[in-house]
A and B are shown apart, each in its own frame.
Chain A
Amino acid sequence: MNINSSLIQFRSSIKSTVKRWETVLTFLLLSEFIVFSLANEKFTFARMLLSINDIISICIISLFVTFVMVTGGIDIQAGSIVGLTSIVIGVSWQDGGMNIWGAVIVSVIVAALCGALSGFFVAYCGVQPMIVTLGGSFLFSGIALLISKISSTESYKGISGFPDSFTQIAKYKLFGVISSQLLIFIALIIICYFLLHKSKYGRSVFLVGVNHEASEYSGINSRLVVMSTYILSGIGASIAGIVLTAYLGTAKSDIGVTFTLPIITAVVLGGTLSTGGKGSIFGTALAAVVIGVLRFGLPLSFKISTQYLDIPVGILLLAVVIGRALASNPKTSAFFNKLLRKKSVG
């Protein structure tokens, strides 16, 4: 019957689309490697692993921002929370005399509170996520600056001299090659994957993202779920801040400010719908790596200045969303269907 066969086609095409997107990303990643290493023999996998640090922060935060965007929201304050985390660690340890690990815990709590604040306004007051996290980005970077002023060290210098146990977080190398940051990233991918895709909590995040009202009718506390995603995002930003601070060996209030565009691009490129309800941790992770490699490879292999890097990232973002829009446009898909049908008949 006609209906059944088109149903089967439809279903298999959906399945393959989902599978296909992550394949596309992997393909993209591989082609990046090929292109960059061909252009400059200095571009090697090993060297990239060594320089992974520059891109890890974005990768880590993107994983958590995925949760927020699955609920249909957005988080542009993550970058500011990175800096806030860093300076809180620095000031609590140096000027507050706390144990370094205590300082770390304090910074995570502070970050979670920042996320909770914005999350509360989004979920319980009905404010648009963009504008709240916009205000948050001002507020948290401002507070970070003020905290740095409390410190005895001048803020432009940054607080340094951290104990080795702390900096080892970022500098340790397994087998001398694999950076601890990479290990942390992989661990977080696994944790976030299970949290979003396998746990009951993650399911509720998807459901709330698709239909907030229907979730309520299913007995899910939609508002709490939404707020929790912002808390997660804040924690993610703080993890990135901790790792970055450990790596740089310096606590500064203004690190992370330029992360917003790459983070959003990574999440969107990874297959998350900005309207919510669909997303993938693996997709985000892959996309973040693709972007990271891009930002690493272009300067190295093509001598493109780091300041120009927003162009390819921006183009990538637009290419994805435009491509998706055209694909779901009935006119273009009808056009492609005609093409395909001709091929299968002829």
Chain B
Amino acid sequence: MSLIKKITKIREMSSLLFLVILFGVVGLINSDFLTPTSLINCLNDSVVFTLLACGIAFTIFTGEIDVSIGAILGITAAVTSTMLVNGSSWIVAVMVGIIIGAVIGIFNGWGVAYLGIPSLIFTLGTNGIIRGSIYVYTKGAWVENLPVWFTKLSQFKLVGNLTAYYTITLVAVIAASLILTRTRKGKYFIAVGDNASGATLVGIPTKKTKMLAYILSGVFAAVAGIIYSSRIGFITPTAGSGYEMRAIAACVLGGISLSGGLGSLIGASIGAIIMSSVSRILVFLGFSSDYDNTITGVLLITIVVVDALAQNRSAIKNRRQRLMARTALLPPAKGEKQHEH
């Protein structure tokens, strides 16, 4: 019994449960949704969001945020695709894309970790600059005619019907998750978000950790951009617009606390599956895509409010319990004079 209790207490379990229930309900209404093909498609389609959500999760763990990831996806997609169209070797194109993500990450990390600028504001600024830069780079035009082999890659199936992209992403996420929870340096991320000053006190390099979080966020977003290019086949200047918000929503749905210190990459991945499935689900339920935003908004607000209420409730409960414990009656004092002055 206690094992089951332990399991349900894990935040990821609630997200998984939510996912299962959600899919179950949809399946009841329209059984086509629950066919293996349909389900596998859900997973495959969530690859971009999974990468974005896991990337941003690093920054959220440390108690910050990165709203420039959508723009990083866009610019990486644009640059890498353009390079491929122009005949560059794929290695170079991919490397350039990743370097772009890393450089932007370093810039973000510098502003937030070393200058102490509030992360929302700073990454909002970076976001704007990158978005505009995409237009400059593409001169407002679409990037099209990507090499066929590149776009075909997105169909390539590795394990059963799971695409290579998703499988590799999943493996990477699991590996990263293990590093975060099992290695000494990996635990720093959550520690910094949980209690930044406490972390400094035990010698954890807070600034470096945050900087690393932003670099990871940028790199993950860059990889997401490359995969996005491969899947979609053409890049518009507004590619990735608004994705950062969905990535944040995915993290919240996956049990990650926006104040930091709580959550896991597995949770983020589950949340990403939910977020990317929303439009698909609406189709299966017979709703037009017009309901997309509304449903996403309701979902997000509900999850976040419930989570905040629960956390506040338990924080208040804990505090009150501690206070009550102080007034608990002790066995009568044996008249010790030892503590008297």
Contacts and interface: CB of A to CB of B under 8 A. Distances in A.
Complex A–B touching at CB under 8 A: yes
Interface of A: 74, 121, 125-128, 130-132, 134-143, 145-146, 149, 261, 264-265, 268, 274-275, 305, 307-315, 317-318, 321-322, 325-326, 329
Contact of B305 (A121, A308, A313, A321): A121
A183 B195 CA distance: 50
B293 A138 contact: yes
Interface string B123-152: 011111111110110001000000000000
21 contacts: A121-B308, A126-B312, A127-B305, A131-B252, A134-B245, A135-B296, A137-B245, A138-B294, A140-B297, A142-B294, A142-B295, A142-B296, A145-B290, A145-B293, A146-B290, A275-B118, A307-B132, A311-B129, A317-B125, A325-B111, A326-B115
Contact of B129 (A74, A130, A134, A310): A310
A307 B139 CA distance: 10
A131 B300 contact: yes
A308 B136 contact: yes
A134 B252 CA distance: 12
Interface in B307-329: 308-309, 311-312
A321 B252 CA distance: 28
A138 B301 CA distance: 10
Contact of B117 (A125, A138, A141, A321): A321
Contacts of A143: 294
Contacts of A264: 121, 124
Interface residues of B, number: 46
A171 to B, nearest CB: 31
Contacts of A318: 111, 122, 125-126, 129
B157 to A, nearest CB: 33
A314 B308 contact: no
A115 to B, nearest CB: 14
B90 interface: no
A120 B83 CA distance: 49
Contact of B293 (A125, A141, A317): A141
A314 B128 contact: yes
A120 to B, nearest CB: 9
A74 B293 CA distance: 20
Interface string B101-131: 0000000000100011110111011111111
Nearest to A313: B128
B291 to A, nearest CB: 7
A127 B124 CA distance: 20
A320 to B, nearest CB: 9
A311 B128 contact: yes
B297 A315 contact: no
Quick one: which of B118, B121, B129 has the most chain A CB within 10 A? B121
A121 B118 CA distance: 22
Nearest to B238: A307
B301 A315 contact: no
B294 A146 contact: yes
A131 B131 contact: no
Given A264-B124, A317-B125, A318-B129, 6 more contacts: A121-B305, A140-B297, A142-B297, A146-B294, A274-B118, A307-B132
A130 B120 contact: yes
Contacts of B249: 134-135
A125 B308 contact: yes
A317 B128 contact: yes
Nearest to A120: B305
A317 B132 CA distance: 14
Given A135-B301, A138-B294, A310 B118 contact: no
B305 A136 contact: no
A262 B296 CA distance: 24
Interface in B1-18: none
B68 to A, nearest CB: 10
Interface string B243-268: 00100110010000011000000000
Contacts of A142: 290-297
Contacts of A149: 290
A305 B312 CA distance: 48
Q: Which 8 A-B pairs have the closest CB atoms?
A: A139-B297, A142-B294, A314-B128, A142-B293, A311-B132, A138-B297, A314-B129, A135-B300
